[in-house]
Amino acid sequence: MKTDFKLLVNGELIDGVSTFDVVNPATEEAFAQCPRADEAILNRAVAAAKAALPAWSALPVDERAGYIGRLADAMEARIEDFARLLTAEQGKPLDQATYEIGGSIYTLRAFAAMRLPEQTLRSENGGTVIEHRTPLGVCASITPWNFPVILLANKLGPCLVMGNTMVSKPAPTTPLTTLLLAELAADILPAGVFNVVCDQNELGPLITAHPDIAKVAFTGSTATGKKVMASAAENVKRVTLELGGNDAAIVLDDVPARIAAQKVYAGAMANAGQICVAIKRAYVPTAMYEEFCDEIAKLADEAVLDDGAKQGSTIGPIQNRMQFEKVRGLIEDAKQRGRVVAGGNVPDRKGFFIPPTVIADLDDDAPLVREEQFGPVLPVLKYDDIEDVIARANDSPYGLGGTVWGVDQLRAMDVARRIDAGTVWVNQHLAIDPTIPFRGAKQSGLGAEHGLAGLMEYTQAHIVNAVALEIEQA
Ligand code: NAD
């Protein structure tokens, strides 16, 4: 596996001012060094992105799309290298890593195919009003550690196709797949169009305050998102914020407990629960509660918790020690307040492993119910009345996603309409598609990613409002 990595600044692969360890969360051992950028390198990256703007934005959109397509093709040719590296730095099982890279390639191609044509808003009596879209300028991408590649693709595709340039900063614990993409981009994209800098959490505030950056596309926690928004206010930067969630799953009473348990388990435990829209609380009718708990416990007990690089592993470690300690703390607290249905004991081994854990009989104010756990531990709560469960699901500062499960689809859709969230899936989960807008409600975000709405976030709407010039005859 590749272990030497460079930053990408102005089309050149360069060393940083120092390096830092990248740790495999399954072994707790450093397996590669990441180059670290300082403020001077960040400034060079922003200057390069600014200098590249006039030529890049002047290209016909089909030519820019062609570049993005060639980048996607180059990723596809290296899909195994990307997937192995992703498993090593992030921890997810290799098949799930391959799926993330495949999804990233698909996302880049989908954005390369999207267009925002000029619109005529009015055309009458010699007057014409048109709205067209111009690029914003240099955009920054700041990404977290749970899906480092696809969350970058979600930003890079629309940014470049609309004629902007980018400076990207991955999370300190998962920088290497972004640097592998940078290596491919160095051979494909014009110098300065895409730049990558890495840090140990120092560069974020410098990026959000930088006067030459027009927009920050941020995915991460709500706490950091608030800092990004406050800092961006200084020069009225555009921001897209994709933040945390505490998504409720509501199981309706016409679903067999075994089926409901399968669906909820998959939605809660994929990527070891480290998904912004993972199911983070499950509400189940009292009449099927015990059966549901028994069924979901069976699934948790069958899981193979191991290094994602090992064949047969179905759930990998938590990505980093800080998150591991946070999830472990929530489990210990929940054990005092509720009943452990599955898991609950952290194995005595190297690596940040937490078994799939299910806790029953918690009150709604327990920390595991109120907070975003971002790990493989699920509280299962009872309900009797549909109005009551909708109110409980909505009683959260978050509003990212949610799911409703019901054989009567129309009834399930009626419930889904009443959940305060950006996306509510009915009888499916994680149906995220680059052509469907994705956005958080309440403190889960601001602005959209994906779809034409997401594309617009990388543009300035520009109105030209014209009438004929009347010249009086002498
Ligand atoms: P985080 O907020 O700690 O870090 C995210 C990124 O922000 C990192 O690159 C980090 O270096 C950078 N950063 C840190 N301080 C900064 C500052 N002051 N200014 C600017 N940038 C700064 O998040 P995390 O722990 O890496 O990721 C997990 C969180 O991300 C969860 O809350 C999860 O729900 C959320 N998330 C949301 C979505 C979504 O689409 N809504 C998707 C994935 C993850």
Same domain, 420 and 455: no
3-state SS, residue 292: helix
Asked whether residue 433 is assigned to any structural domain, the reply reads no
Rounded CA-CA distance 74/188 in Å is 9
Rounded CA-CA distance 269/424 in Å is 18
- Answer yes or no: are the C-beta atoms of 161 and 455 closer than 8 Å: yes
Residue 473 has a pLDDT of: 82
Rounded CA-CA distance 445/226 in Å is 10
101 Cβ closer than 6 Å to some ligand 1 atom: no
Residue 97 has a pLDDT of: 98
Asked whether residue 59 is assigned to any structural domain, the reply reads yes
Q: What is the pLDDT of residues 336-350, one digit of tens each?
A: 999 999 999 999 999
Instruction: Confirm whether 387 is a catalytic residue.
Output: no
Q: Residue 64 sits in which domain range?
A: 7-243+444-463
Residue 309 has a pLDDT of: 98
Per annotation, catalytic residue among 89, 100, 242, 295: 242
Q: Percentage of the chain surpassing pLDDT 90?
A: 98
Give distance in angstroms: CA of 219 to centre of ligand 1: 5
Same domain, 54 and 117: yes
Asked whether residue 434 is assigned to any structural domain, the reply reads no
Residue 85 has a pLDDT of: 98
145 Cβ closer than 6 Å to some ligand 1 atom: yes
Whether residue 60 is predicted with pLDDT greater than 90 in this model: the reply is yes
465 exposure class (CB count in 10 Å sphere: 0-12, 13-18, 19+) = exposed
**Lowest mean pLDDT across 37-41, 122-126, 231-235, 439-443:** 122-126
Taking residues 83-112, what's their average pLDDT?
Answer: 98
201 Cβ closer than 6 Å to some ligand 1 atom: yes
**Crossing angle for the helix pair 94-112 and 150-161, nearest 10 degrees?**
10
Instruction: Confirm whether 34 is a catalytic residue.
Output: no
Closest atom of ligand 1 to 245 CA is 34
Residue 437 has a pLDDT of: 98
Whether residue 470 is predicted with pLDDT greater than 90 in this model: the reply is no
Asked whether residue 61 is assigned to any structural domain, the reply reads yes
In this structure, what CATH number is given to the domain that contains residue 374?
A: 3.40.309.10
Same domain, 288 and 384: yes
Residue 455 has a pLDDT of: 98
454 Cβ closer than 6 Å to some ligand 1 atom: no
Taking residues 25-46, what's their average pLDDT?
Answer: 98
Number of domain units in the chain: 2
Taking residues 285-293, what's their average pLDDT?
Answer: 98
Same domain, 387 and 457: no
Atom 22 (ligand 1): residue with closest C-alpha? 204
Residue 125 has a pLDDT of: 87
Average pLDDT in the chain: 98
Give distance in angstroms: CA of 116 to centre of ligand 1: 29
Closest atom of ligand 1 to 323 CA is 25
Q: What is the pLDDT of residues 7-24, one digit of tens each?
A: 999 999 999 999 999 999
400 Cβ closer than 6 Å to some ligand 1 atom: yes
In this structure, what CATH number is given to the domain that contains residue 136?
A: 3.40.605.10
Asked whether residue 457 is assigned to any structural domain, the reply reads yes
Give which of 244, 223, 276, 238 is closest to 140, Cα–Cα: 238
**Lowest mean pLDDT across 116-120, 122-126, 357-361:** 122-126
Residue 326 has a pLDDT of: 98
Same domain, 284 and 234: no
Asked whether residue 438 is assigned to any structural domain, the reply reads no
Give which of 121, 152, 134, 105 is closest to 8, Cα–Cα: 152
Same domain, 239 and 252: no
Whether residue 188 is predicted with pLDDT greater than 90 in this model: the reply is yes
Give distance in angstroms: CA of 244 to centre of ligand 1: 8
Residue 430 has a pLDDT of: 94
Asked whether residue 180 is assigned to any structural domain, the reply reads yes
Same domain, 61 and 157: yes
Same domain, 128 and 205: yes
Same domain, 153 and 15: yes
Rounded CA-CA distance 22/31 in Å is 6
Q: SS3 breakdown of the chain: % helix, strand, coil, rounded to 5?
A: 40, 25, 35
Closest atom of ligand 1 to 199 CA is 11
Q: What is the pLDDT of residues 318-373, one digit of tens each?
A: 999 999 999 999 999 999 999 999 999 999 999 999 999 999 999 999 999 999 99
Residue 126 has a pLDDT of: 87
198 Cβ closer than 6 Å to some ligand 1 atom: no
Same domain, 407 and 381: yes
Asked whether residue 131 is assigned to any structural domain, the reply reads yes
Whether residue 474 is predicted with pLDDT greater than 80 in this model: the reply is no
Same domain, 138 and 188: yes
Q: What is the pLDDT of residues 377-407, one digit of tens each?
A: 999 999 999 999 999 999 999 999 999 999 9
Same domain, 271 and 137: no
Atom 21 (ligand 1): residue with closest C-alpha? 204
33 Cβ closer than 6 Å to some ligand 1 atom: no
Give distance in angstroms: CA of 445 to centre of ligand 1: 12
Per annotation, catalytic residue among 34, 159, 198, 276: 276
